[in-house]
A and B are shown apart, each in its own frame.
Chain A
Amino acid sequence: MPRKTALFERTADLMTSVAWKEWAGYAAPCNFDAYSEREYFAIRHSAGLLDLSPLAKYMVTGADAARYLARIWTRDITRLKPGRVAYGCMCDGEGKLLDDGTVACLDPETFRVTSSEAWLGWFERHSRGYQVEIEDCTDRLAALALQGPLSREILQAVTEVDLDAMRFFGVAAGSIAGVNGWISRTGYTGDLGYEIWIACEDALTVYDALLVAGKPHHLEPIGLDALDVARIEAGFVMQGVDYISAQHCLIEARKSTPEDAGLGWTVNLERAGWIGREALVQEQEQGPKWGLVGLELDWAEIEALHEEYGLPPHLSPLACRNAVPVYSEGGANEKPVGQATSSSWSPTLKRYLVLAQVHRKYAALGTRLSVEYTVEFERRTITGTVVERPFFDPERKTFTPKAAPKGAS
């Protein structure tokens, strides 16, 4: 039975849809209204407020904390400065992906790690030999995501932290609506946005204060459905959807390396001593097998296909997470070359977007592929073209009004 987060009474009250889903053992809202479109447009035009508390969170402290995290994480955490956050992933000994998430450096010996699922056992197993303490703080620490172009103004109204000076992937401690917490300029929407980390007992105070501050800006509480569309536009992969954690895979072929899942950029093979490196060095020598690509489906083909059935094209406001086969160009009789793992109509871009894992050979920009598409229970294909990822990448995502001169941290 799902557990309740610290914000359950408020989100349950605001919600008219009674649409809950289980997220990492907690009940989480899918949407607050009959459809998630209003919430989606809040993310892109105003701001959305999401209860992020089910995210797995760990405090890693001690003299060897950075060295230890640099061992289990693909990023070199020893070079992460206080006040900065690094996104990265975690591999098993064979270089297969276990999970992805962020590491925030709060001070040189204190780090907060987030991941999509619980990893305390793994963390502890590999902490031998390091002077380090690991605490699972998922249950005591609430987290809120405030995402959207107006999120800075809304959040600035309730905090003394100078948000104009906070850079992308920065983190700072401060008072938020009168309670102590942390703000990081991170998110899962590919937009300007912040994540707020506070003790569970303070969560309602902050949530309510943000709703009040956000009212003139049309802030909306949002659920996971709107977030899913936004994260596909941003081109972000999701563990369990776009790749399967190696610990859940039943067969070897389902496991992915960071390269396979489009996370190769988080990996530095030159750096020694992190778990999975030796296997990935070998992978690189042989050439990676898979690549994650963004595809755009041909809208005219979708219209024409529906036309054959005498139907108008149907667009779901929801993202689709059912993996479907991808073939080389020419339809389902051609060679299968991968699978489309997430797809969604983008209301902002007016394009049909797909995240797919395909053989390296077919991953080059401009490659035309065939993606399975079902109309009236008949399986057909639509041409998809490999395009740049992220699909949606506004300047405001990284722009900092009071940016420090280059070179200063």
Chain B
Amino acid sequence: MDVIVIGGGHNGLVAAATLARKGHGVTLLEGRESFGGVAAGLLHDTDSFSPEIAKALDLAGHGLEFADPAPVFVLSREGPGLLLHRDPVQAAGELGADAEAYISWRAFLKRVLPFATSQLDSVAPDISTSGPLLPLMRRGFAFRRMGKTDIHECLRIGPACVDDTLSEHFQSPLLRAALSARALQGTWMGPRSPSSTATLLLGEAQSGQEIVGGASSLVTALVAACESSGVELRPSSRVSRIQVSQGRATGVTTEGGESLLADRVLSCIGPRRTLLELIEPEHLPIREAGQMANLRLRGTLARVSLRLAEPIDYACRPGLRPKRSLVAEHPLDLERAFDHVKHRRMPTQLPLDIHQTDGEASILIRCATIELQGGWSDKRRQELGDLTLAALEPHVPNIRGIARVTRILTPTDIAQEFDLEGGHEMHGELSLDQLGPMRPSMTLARHATPIDALYLGSAGIHPGGAISGRPGWQAAQVVGSP
């Protein structure tokens, strides 16, 4: 079988390698000059990439290594900050009064997350009235096995806001801010938004070890895995149309005018763009067209890159020089930043997610809305850089002396540079109605589309995730089955 995979982000690479290893002829078309998408130079976190997929694709043979995740240092102006390890025993020394609560929180997660992870590792169930009952019952029994107390707790906290949930357990605002910040990635929420606990649990269910060398090592290994399994990798080949004939996808046309035929087409770019822009509207039923038109994907991500003359040394803990650090001293800082997002304004106080490597720092800002009033301009871009340095200054008084801003990516820049509709790194916000069997919609979550031989496999499809590889992997299983 000949398969065309559209989009060479991490999910496209995973899907292409998986299909090629099954013996299919795979052509991977990427619009940009290089592969990897958001994994190649936008996002930092690699701890959600599935080790099972790495194993199945023999990524270790292509140089991929996993290691325990580096701790995150949460900066403080009033104390020594918090060096937060995921491992509760390692973290205990820093947590003081919260140490015991953190141990029991981690124990709770350890009990309940295997259920969530098992859901993420399988194709979403059909929850429509016409769907089969048995798969739902199986899931129901698996859920039931968590035990009454934990089930009750999951159902109680899932729809709650993450700030309430964490406040029940922890006193330290630094700890609560750090855990909230993680929960809010890819959402359009603040820590006080309802159901943000659900996205916290989702994030935790996907996280494990991280990749040595970061996301770029993952991309290198995936490209190597594709090459060794015979995938035809074609960068700079942007698809402009998916050819559909009598309700069946037959191939694609590239912007260069080239026409390629295939037995099946798997799109690992955003579902909305795939269905609303690459297909002539006659071929898509209005139900799915409506679902895609209503999909929410308002990007809030921006990035500022710094070149450092010397490593950043934080005033609250000199000499620590952590790889990853966070500027958010209280969940309220995140909530206020989100208030600005909601009102389409630039926040005055930026929470920062800092990733420091030799001589450089890459800073992600998750509260810059693409819908900024008046739009993004050169002036607003500059302002974003100034605000970033201003947010760092209390913690690093000499920051303006040692750091030079080399690049500022506004949400619109990200949308353009990484080919992301809405500038959204996950092709669809994480929210209860766009998750699980409803990601991106009830009828599209199982990778198949109303168009025969056309499948979806980006982060916009169940199970989503930042750099998890799971949507691409699962889509490849569906595409590869007869």
Stretch touching chain B among A125-133, A143-151, A208-216, A330-338? A125-133
Q: Are B281's CB and A93's CB within 8 A? A: no
Distance from B240 Cβ to chain A, minimum over Cβ atoms (Å)? 13
Does A273 make an interface contact (CB < 8 A)? yes
Distance from A280 Cβ to chain B, minimum over Cβ atoms (Å)? 13
Does A278 make an interface contact (CB < 8 A)? yes
Does A275 make an interface contact (CB < 8 A)? yes
Q: Are A129's CB and B280's CB within 8 A? A: yes
Does B282 make an interface contact (CB < 8 A)? yes
A125 to B287, alpha carbons, bound, how many Å? 11
A92 to B286, alpha carbons, bound, how many Å? 9
**Which residues of chain A from 104 to 133 have a CB within 8 Å of any chain B CB?**
125-126, 128-130
A92 to B289, alpha carbons, bound, how many Å? 13
A273 to B450, alpha carbons, bound, how many Å? 13
Residues of B within 8 A of A128 (CB): 276, 281, 289, 293
A130 to B287, alpha carbons, bound, how many Å? 17
Distance from B254 Cβ to chain A, minimum over Cβ atoms (Å)? 19
Q: Are B285's CB and A273's CB within 8 A? A: no
A260 to B286, alpha carbons, bound, how many Å? 22
Residues of B within 8 A of A275 (CB): 286
Q: Are B286's CB and A129's CB within 8 A? A: no
Q: Are A71's CB and B282's CB within 8 A? A: yes
Residues of B within 8 A of A125 (CB): 290, 293
**Which residues of chain B from 136 to 185 have a CB within 8 Å of any chain A CB?**
none
**Which residues of chain A from 135 to 156 have a CB within 8 Å of any chain B CB?**
none
Distance from B253 Cβ to chain A, minimum over Cβ atoms (Å)? 16
A196 to B287, alpha carbons, bound, how many Å? 38
**Which residues of chain B from 106 to 127 have a CB within 8 Å of any chain A CB?**
none
* Contacting residue for B277 out of A93, A126, A129, A272, CB 8 A: A129
Residues of B within 8 A of A272 (CB): 246-247, 282
Contact with A along B247-262 (1 / 0, CB 8 A): 1000000000000000
Residues of A within 8 A of B283 (CB): 273
* Contacting residue for B289 out of A126, A273, A274, A278, CB 8 A: A126
Interface size class of A (residues with CB under 8 A): 10 to 19
Interface size class of B (residues with CB under 8 A): 10 to 19
CB-nearest residue of chain A to B245 = A272
A71 to B286, alpha carbons, bound, how many Å? 10
* Contacting residue for A129 out of B247, B276, B287, B290, CB 8 A: B276
* Contacting residue for A278 out of B246, B277, B281, B285, CB 8 A: B285
A93 to B281, alpha carbons, bound, how many Å? 14
Distance from A97 Cβ to chain B, minimum over Cβ atoms (Å)? 15
A130 to B282, alpha carbons, bound, how many Å? 10
Distance from B415 Cβ to chain A, minimum over Cβ atoms (Å)? 19
A172 to B287, alpha carbons, bound, how many Å? 38
Contact with A along B273-303 (1 / 0, CB 8 A): 0001100111101110110010000000000
A71 to B285, alpha carbons, bound, how many Å? 11
Distance from A255 Cβ to chain B, minimum over Cβ atoms (Å)? 16
Q: Are B286's CB and A93's CB within 8 A? A: yes
Residues of A within 8 A of B247 (CB): 272
CB-nearest residue of chain A to B277 = A129
* Contacting residue for A93 out of B246, B276, B282, B285, CB 8 A: B285
Residues of A within 8 A of B290 (CB): 125
CB-nearest residue of chain B to A94 = B287
Chain A interface, DSSP helix/strand/loop, else mixed? loop
Contact with B along A263-282 (1 / 0, CB 8 A): 00000000011110010000
Distance from B278 Cβ to chain A, minimum over Cβ atoms (Å)? 10
A126 to B285, alpha carbons, bound, how many Å? 10
* Contacting residue for A71 out of B246, B276, B277, B281, CB 8 A: B281
Residues of A within 8 A of B246 (CB): 272
A135 to B243, alpha carbons, bound, how many Å? 31
Residues of B within 8 A of A126 (CB): 281, 286, 289
A389 to B101, alpha carbons, bound, how many Å? 81
Residues of A within 8 A of B286 (CB): 92-93, 126, 275
A125 to B281, alpha carbons, bound, how many Å? 12
A372 to B246, alpha carbons, bound, how many Å? 48
Distance from A388 Cβ to chain B, minimum over Cβ atoms (Å)? 36
A272 to B287, alpha carbons, bound, how many Å? 16
Residues of A within 8 A of B289 (CB): 126, 128
Contact with B along A58-73 (1 / 0, CB 8 A): 0000000001000100
Distance from A262 Cβ to chain B, minimum over Cβ atoms (Å)? 25
A336 to B286, alpha carbons, bound, how many Å? 36
Distance from A94 Cβ to chain B, minimum over Cβ atoms (Å)? 9
**Which residues of chain A from 66 to 92 have a CB within 8 Å of any chain B CB?**
67, 71, 92
Distance from A326 Cβ to chain B, minimum over Cβ atoms (Å)? 33
A129 to B277, alpha carbons, bound, how many Å? 7
Q: Are B287's CB and A93's CB within 8 A? A: yes
A293 to B89, alpha carbons, bound, how many Å? 81
A112 to B290, alpha carbons, bound, how many Å? 25
Distance from B286 Cβ to chain A, minimum over Cβ atoms (Å)? 4
A325 to B246, alpha carbons, bound, how many Å? 43
A67 to B282, alpha carbons, bound, how many Å? 9
Contact with B along A36-49 (1 / 0, CB 8 A): 00000000000000
Residues of A within 8 A of B277 (CB): 129
Distance from A96 Cβ to chain B, minimum over Cβ atoms (Å)? 12
CB-nearest residue of chain A to B280 = A129
Contact with A along B418-440 (1 / 0, CB 8 A): 00000000000000000000000
Distance from B154 Cβ to chain A, minimum over Cβ atoms (Å)? 36
Residues of A within 8 A of B285 (CB): 93, 278
Residues of B within 8 A of A273 (CB): 282-283
Residues of A within 8 A of B280 (CB): 129
**Which residues of chain A from 267 to 301 have a CB within 8 Å of any chain B CB?**
272-275, 278
Distance from B316 Cβ to chain A, minimum over Cβ atoms (Å)? 52
CB-nearest residue of chain B to A92 = B286
A93 to B293, alpha carbons, bound, how many Å? 16
A86 to B277, alpha carbons, bound, how many Å? 30
A128 to B293, alpha carbons, bound, how many Å? 9
Distance from B283 Cβ to chain A, minimum over Cβ atoms (Å)? 7
CB-nearest residue of chain B to A122 = B286
A367 to B152, alpha carbons, bound, how many Å? 64
A92 to B282, alpha carbons, bound, how many Å? 14
Distance from B149 Cβ to chain A, minimum over Cβ atoms (Å)? 44
Distance from B28 Cβ to chain A, minimum over Cβ atoms (Å)? 26
CB-nearest residue of chain A to B284 = A129
A67 to B286, alpha carbons, bound, how many Å? 16
Most buried by A among B287, B289, B293: B289
CB-nearest residue of chain B to A67 = B282
CB-nearest residue of chain A to B279 = A129
A278 to B282, alpha carbons, bound, how many Å? 12
Could you tell me which A residues sit within 8 Å of B by CB distance?
Answer: 67, 71, 92-93, 125-126, 128-130, 272-275, 278
The 10 closest A-B pairs by CB, nearest first: A273-B282, A129-B281, A93-B286, A93-B287, A275-B286, A71-B282, A93-B285, A128-B276, A126-B286, A128-B293
Could you tell me which B residues sit within 8 Å of A by CB distance?
Answer: 246-247, 276-277, 280-283, 285-287, 289-290, 293
5 extra A-B contacts, CB within 8 A, seeds A126-B289, A274-B282 = A125-B293, A130-B281, A272-B246, A273-B283, A275-B286
**Interchain Cβ contacts under 8 Å between A and B, 21 examples:** A71-B282, A92-B286, A93-B285, A93-B287, A125-B290, A125-B293, A126-B281, A126-B286, A128-B276, A128-B281, A128-B289, A128-B293, A129-B276, A129-B277, A129-B280, A272-B246, A272-B247, A272-B282, A273-B283, A274-B282, A275-B286
